[in-house]
Structure 1
């Protein structure tokens, strides 16, 4: 697409977006942000499942990706494929899908630009790709929105939708940047702000806002979430950390094991992963609002 400014090709990165886009309404914000970011060469988008909420979640997420692209006038501009419709049955058997094939194909290309897979849901498709082709481990970086707060862990939605996949990834040699729950929850935004800065911005802005309002109404019986006046755009750090990786806001630690209760178990001699302790919500939101305004204008 034509952006309003350019990023030197040497500073660009390849990106695959793996999203449970139909689960709630924050994934769409992250997808739009990525599409409007000229540093990112989008090599494909994968619709994946979101656990027990739907038996056809991957197909629904894929359809939602197509809907977003249509509203942005980008139909057929990007490769869109379907990932896994359910969690792994065991830690030895991959789920073979177009999504997994896309990850493997792009990772194995002879391309000097680094490849990042942005996982905005469960890690099923990445784990399946790794089981099929372990050589991808040193040819890409996984950025995962998921997992409980350190040091203990605990219940977290994306992790709960495929604990076996997370256990595979954390015990593998795949390079991993993790944004755990307490950190992605920092991206808080008021509905009033979205009404001013998103709703007026063309068809896609109106869609993003109205879908959030509709989801808020549909889930009104859940007293703990949504809260009514605000939202958390928790998937968007996967995009903003590729614009600026916030080098002073993460720790490099030995990857923990994850038990079946979603707790972290620390063992010696595991490989290192990057775990974020903070994301810059102001930078993230203002960058998104500005790009959306430029796109709409």
Structure 2
């Protein structure tokens, strides 16, 4: 239920300007160039946890952000029932860029507004074309595809050009718990929220493609809790963008309380591991070395959202625990540093 702005609202924001590839708020300049290319794909008109992930990535000089894709939610989703949730997501991305004074809007692209109809027919979109172009570009730096929602655009791109599977690493927030590793929470959705956006796309990515997957399933993204005190003291106080992030999250908490599901003093920023596993990798023997995962054959996904074992399938990583201290402390400090710079006279 992130507030979807109109063009006039987006144009009304005033802020010190900057471009991707620069970090003018850092008084001590970053060391060296970006370490990896990233494509960010998320349902930005939905749960505002994706706004925190986007802002955090934009403030992280270790990644070269090549695309930011606004993707769709399922029809009737309580956050954005549609139609046009991918188009709404693009408006939200543009609004975040404008609030931050970021002028590099050429990286913003729209995904499909609809899920796959079957496992062999792609959904065309500007995002699909852009994903293929970036993956096939002659560039030796590693490419990470970071998905915080459904997998429609990635699956479609693979159906159009299967060769991209060997040219990127996928990190996906989604999927139910794995047997032997975790159990579902009380009253859990039978099909996990992000997978439910497009189960068919999940089947294509897991079984029909050769994509290498790092998965952050539901039990792990639910670990990413922050308290309301943290949000009030370390986010809401961090300039206009911090106020915006807190306001969007507080509105969801108020709405949930009104529906009898609260109040609560915590909120799950479940998309933030996309930053942790990329921008915050270790210097030596580069990897997300402070988090823990299990290596396993990539399963199939049934129509019911459950896994079907494939013992001889390609390996994947299933993350079991993520370093929330590093992830959130880095976010709070970068946000405060950026807010100080925004408040200074140019």
**Shorter-chain TM-score: which interval?**
over 0.9
SS for the counterpart of 1:270 is: coil
Residue 6 of structure 2 corresponds to which residue in structure 1?
Answer: none
Residue of 268, 273, 288 corresponding to 2:311: 268
Residue of 16, 23, 43 corresponding to 1:20: 43
Flag the 1:7–1:157 CA change in 2: closer, same or farther, 3 A: farther
Aligned residue runs from structure 1 range 134-149, under 5 A: 134-149=162-177
Residue 201 of structure 2 corresponds to which residue in structure 1?
Answer: 165
| Structure-2 separation of matches of 1:131 and 1:105 | 14
Question: What's the CA shift for 1:77?
Answer: 4.3
Q: TM-score, normalised by structure 2?
A: 0.82
1:208 and 2:245 matched: yes
Residue 218 of structure 2 corresponds to which residue in structure 1?
Answer: 181
* Larger of the two Rg values belongs to structure: 2
Aligned residue runs from structure 1 range 1-297, under 5 A: 1=19, 2-3=22-23, 4=26, 5-9=29-33, 12-52=35-75, 53=77, 54-151=82-179, 154-171=190-207, 172-224=209-261, 227-242=263-278, 243-244=280-281, 245-246=288-289, 249-297=292-340
Q: Decide whether the 8 Å contact of 2:290 with 2:323 is kept in 1.
A: no
Question: What's the CA shift for 1:217?
Answer: 2.0
Q: Once the two structures are superposed, what CA deviation does each residue of 1:44-93 show, in whole Å capped at 9, x if it has no partner?
A: 10000111222211011111101110100013444101001121110010
Q: Decide whether the 8 Å contact of 1:83 with 1:125 is kept in 2.
A: yes
Q: Structure 1 residues 262-271 or 157-166, which shifts more?
A: 262-271
SS for the counterpart of 2:116 is: coil
Flag the 1:77–1:59 CA change in 2: closer, same or farther, 3 A: closer
Gaps of 5+ in 2: 1-18, 185-189, 282-287, 341-346
| Structure-2 separation of matches of 1:176 and 1:280 | 19
> Aligned residue pairs: how many?
295
Q: Decide whether the 8 Å contact of 1:42 with 1:78 is kept in 2.
A: no
Q: Structure 1 residues 202-211 or 27-36, which shifts more?
A: 202-211
RMSD: 1.6
Gaps of 5+ in 1: none
Question: What's the CA shift for 1:248?
Answer: 5.9
Q: Decide whether the 8 Å contact of 2:72 with 2:150 is kept in 1.
A: yes
